[in-house]
Chain A
Amino acid sequence: MSIANLPLWAALPAALLLVCSGLLTLLGSLGLLRLKSFDARIHAPTMGNTLGAGCVLLASMLTSSALAERLVIHELLITVFILISSPVTTMLLMRAAIFRPRD
């Protein structure tokens, strides 16, 4: 059984999640490119980092569970790791931006 003949109950939510995640990530990176100052720019990619990655991992869980015909949840590991590590990086970067001398 391949990806092209998944049952519809798995293919439709996965497709919806993938479209959502692509648009969210693209929007976040566009914000990273377009916004004016660093303080505004640090907000934009967090949308792609958390919500986009979460949608992709949920879709991956759904399709691999439907392919293997049992519950496959090892993608949860990446989700938890990103959920832990992304705020740490953002916090350190913001502290660095605050304490660095402006030039």
Chain B
Amino acid sequence: MNAILPWTIHFALACFALAMICALIRLLRGPAAQDRILALDTLYINGMLSILMLGISSGSTLYFDIALLIALFGFVGSTAMAKFLLRGEVIEP
């Protein structure tokens, strides 16, 4: 009936792909290590949003679990790398 939602899903997917390319360029040429970690943080959030978009377009609940796992492990990775930059080790004795 109304084809507005599939079109907007494609539009938002294109936006997220462009955003991921921007973050990837910053990841590759960031001058300091904290720039690269920030770019990686943005990259995983954008990937998670793209997967949620696929979940909306297919109507399946399987993509939700994948997105939750990406959010969880992305947070752990970013925090571990930021902690390593801050203190020189991740888990302190």
Q: Which residues of A contact B (CB under 8 A)?
A: 2-6, 8, 11-12, 14-15, 18-19, 21-23, 25-26, 28-30, 32-33, 38, 41-42, 45, 48-49, 52-53, 56-57, 59-60, 63-64, 67, 74-75, 77-78, 81-82, 85, 88-89, 92-93, 95-97, 99-100, 103
Contact = CB atoms under 8 A, between A and B. Distances in A.
Contacts of A64: 56, 59, 61
A48 B35 contact: no
Nearest to A2: B59
Majority secondary structure of chain B interface residues (helix, strand, loop or mixed): helix
B91 interface: no
Q: How large is the interface on B (under 10, 10 to 19, 20 to 34, 35 or more residues)?
A: 35 or more
Nearest to B76: A85
Nearest to B18: A26
Interface in B32-59: 32-35, 37-39, 41-42, 45-46, 48-49, 52-53, 55-59
